[in-house]
Amino acid sequence: MHEVELAYVTGRGRWYDYSWKGQEDRSGGVSVNIGIHLFDLLIWLFGEPLQVQVHLRESRRMAGVLRLRRARVRWLLSVNMEDVPAAVRGAGRTTYRCLRMDGGEVEFSDGFADLHTEVYRRILTGDGFGIADARPSIDLTYRIRMGAVESNGDALQAILDATVGEGART
């Protein structure tokens, strides 16, 4: 059983709230808009979701804990610039993507931009994924979007500290 922390923080301006991406009824909200690919990766790596807890659900930010077959994952998704770690912002960057597991860390903020294009290219050539492949992550994001929020200030602060560092706002 792995202990995993996942943060996907990508600062978005006020435009986000007015575009289709900021409209949950159009984009599925933060869990779908920026989280679905990461949840898909987690399911692929660690197995099917056994338990879903949402500790925070806001229009621009979500956090919680997933229990997968082979991992317990504390996760944070955010489009709030203030959730980007200060050191990252200080370097002039607006995105922070990080996966920590069992004491190791993979920071994957760079090289992410062309992935959609590559996936679309593969789909058009018949070498892509189908709806059955995406179904587990679609089901998971639905559970995250529609499930009850289990608000626990201590748990939420632990998630924020683990992902975006000390001093994260609650």
- Residues 164, 80: Cα–Cα separation, whole Å: 12
Q: Kindly report, residue by residue over 71-94, the tens digit of the pLDDT.
A: 999 999 999 988 888 888 888 888
The pLDDT of residue 168: 46
Window from 62-76, 83-97, 111-125, 135-149 with minimum mean pLDDT: 111-125
**Domains of the chain listed by start with CATH number:** 2-164 (3.30.360.10)
Q: Please tell me whether residue 23 adopts helix, strand or coil conformation.
A: coil
Q: Are 29 and 145 within 8 A, CB to CB? A: yes
Q: Kindly report, residue by residue over 138-154, the tens digit of the pLDDT.
A: 999 999 999 899 876 55
The pLDDT of residue 157: 61
The pLDDT of residue 170: 40
Q: Where are the alpha helices (DSSP H) in 34-85?
A: 36-46
